[in-house]
Amino acid sequence: MLAGVEHKSVSPVFVGRRAELDTLRRASAQARAGAPQALLIGGEAGVGKPRLLEEFIAEAAREGDLVALGSCVESGAEGLPFAPFAALLRTLRRLLPEEFAAGAAGQEGELARLLPDLGEAPGGRSGEEGTARLFDLTARLLQHLAAERDIVLVVEDLHWADASTRRLIAYLFRTLRTGRLSVLASYRADDIHRRHPLRPLLAELDRLRTVQRLELPRFNRAEVARQLAGILAAEPDDSLVDDVFTRSEGNAFFVEELTVAARSGCHTGLTDSLRDLLLVRVEALPERSQHLVRLAAEGVISPKTASVHVSHILAKLEVSTRGEAAAVAHRLRLVGGAEGGTGSGRSEGETRGGEGR
């Protein structure tokens, strides 16, 4: 049974990731035997995390597993408190009404901090004591629901999680000991800079033997060729494979978007979706860094500023943002191509959003 899961991909074929998918399958088999599983799935934006999850979730649903999805929501400096768990519990309550009611009996008020649908949260317990109680009740509820049923919980975009969500994830990963339950959490690895709040959590979870961590690499040339063949429904020319592989550097989302752009005759070589993703990365930098990165990109795509060198620009940046700025400038130049640029006819102020793969 599959609930709340809507992953879409341009590519009709699943490429690569066999080792990672096998790891998820083995974990699922262990969970079905009564040993809860905790897995972290990381990778840069666009590398294909949702597609891997899509493939695994479809298999789990065919096996009869109950699958629920919750996503962290970007909202200012901190995400919305407990956002993915509200979605997960809402799905579990809808699909397992009797079991949920039995597991939450007498604790509805406290669990309402996670799922307001249960009623009004009491004002009695607060602070660390109340949080510890809430976490314990959540773990017990999940173990109750998964006592005789295979359940897969997926938390996406953990890099946007607020502090309360991060703490609850860590608690569950440390304490779940019984039940036919798998908990998967994905995150965007290239967002985890030195001061990112998720970084200490990942280090903590890495020390737990019960937690498996997968880092998705980019595709190699052969995998890009197979992805192109799936999208085009025909074997691609070697020249197209070389061009897309070089410009995408094996990033699955970039491969899809560059192929769509080439097939549609887009004169810039970039789709709006790809341009949006690139701009999101630029806009995540401090204002001074944004300006200099744009100049760096224009050093290739604009003849008027071709004398501007990336190394000279990056030397002026704060040390804390230099690495990210270098990566963004490199991607802008490479994906845009020597003559393509990053424009699509819209001003930068009109473009927001991006692809969270």
- Report percent pLDDT > 90 for the chain: 50
Please report which confidence band the pLDDT of residue 33 belongs to, taking 50, 70 and 90 as the band edges: very high
Structure-model confidence comparison of residues 119 and 322, the more confident one: 119
Contacts of 355 (CB under 8 A, 6+ apart): 45, 46, 253, 273, 276, 277
Q: How many residues does the chain have?
A: 357
- pTM value is 0.78
Q: Are residues 52 and 181 in the same domain?
A: yes
- Give percent of the chain above pLDDT 70: 68
**pLDDT surpasses 70 at 10:** no
**Residues 300-339 pLDDT 10s:** 434 344 334 444 444 544 544 555 555 555 555 555 554 4
Q: Which range of residues forms the domain containing residue 229? A: 219-265
Q: Phi/psi of residue 300, each to 5°?
A: -100, -40
**DSSP structure string for 141-198:** HHHHHTSSS-EEEEEE-GGG--HHHHHHHHHHHHH--SSSEEEEEEEEGGG--TT-TH
Least confident of 181-190, 207-216, 266-275, 303-312: 303-312
The residues, ordered by sequence, that sit 6+ positions from 321 with a Cβ below 8 Å of its Cβ are 285, 286, 289
The whole-number average pLDDT for the span 117-142 is: 84
Q: Residue 241 — φ and ψ, nearest 5°?
A: -60, -45
- pLDDT for 225-262, tens place per residue? 999 999 888 999 999 999 889 888 898 988 888 888 77
pLDDT category at 55 given cuts 50, 70, 90 is very high
Per-residue pLDDT at 340: 39
Q: Return the C-alpha torsion angle 50, 56, 57, 61, nearest 10.
A: 160
Q: Is the pLDDT confidence value at 216 over 50?
A: yes
Q: 41 in helix, strand or coil?
A: strand
Q: Do both 183 and 63 map to the same domain?
A: yes
pLDDT given at position 339? 40
Q: Does residue 226 share a domain with residue 211? A: no
Residues 120, 181, single domain; the answer is: yes
Most confident of the ranges 27-31, 112-116, 289-293, 353-357: 27-31
If asked whether residues 172 and 251 sit together in one domain, one would say: no
Q: Among the listed ranges 128-142, 242-256, 276-290, which one has the minimum average pLDDT value?
A: 276-290
Q: Among residues 200, 230, 265, which one ends one of the domains?
A: 265
Give the CA distances from residue 151 to residues 95, 161, 179, 219, in Å, rounded to whole numbers and listed in that order: 11, 22, 9, 30
Same domain, 246 and 302: no
Mean pLDDT score, 98-116: 93
In terms of domains, do 255 and 205 share one? no
Q: What gap in Å lies between CA 64 and CA 66, rounded to an integer?
A: 7
Cβ-based neighbours of 227, under 8 Å, separated by 6 or more? 11, 13, 15, 219, 252, 255, 256
| pLDDT for 307 | 38
Same domain, 138 and 261: no
Do 226 and 211 sit in the same domain of this protein? no
- Kindly indicate the confidence band of residue 14, based on its pLDDT and cuts at 50, 70 and 90: confident
Residue 258 and residue 312 share a domain? no
Are 161 and 10 spatial neighbours (Cβ–Cβ below 8 Å)? no
What is the CATH number for 71?
3.40.50.300
Indicate if 28 and 175 belong to the same structural domain. Answer: yes
In contact, 337 and 246? CB cutoff 8 Å: no
Looking at the structure, do residues 154 and 241 belong to the same domain, yes or no?
no
* Measured CA angle at 37 (ends 31, 40), to 5 deg: 145
- Average pLDDT on 17-31 reads 95
Average pLDDT over residues 137-142: 97
- In whole angstroms, give the CA distance from residue 143 to residue 165: 18
**66, 1 in Cβ contact below 8 A?**
yes
Number of domains in the chain: 3
Task: Using the predicted structure, report yes or no on whether residue 23 has a pLDDT greater than 90.
Answer: yes
In terms of Cβ atoms closer than 10 Å to its own Cβ (0-12, 13-18, 19+), residue 286 is: middle
**What pLDDT, on the 0 to 100 scale, is given for residue 269?**
58
Provide the pLDDT for residue 301.
Answer: 39
Distance between CA 80 and CA 76 in Å, rounded?
A: 9
- Please tell me the predicted confidence (pLDDT) of residue 147: 95
pLDDT of residue 51: 92
**Angle, helices 163-175/127-145, rounded to nearest 10 degrees:** 50
Helices (H), 285-338: 287-301, 310-314, 319-336
Spatial contact of 9 and 257, defined as CB atoms under 8 Å apart: no
pLDDT at 194: 82
Average the pLDDT over 71-78 and give the result: 76
Closest CA to 2 of 91, 68, 70: 68
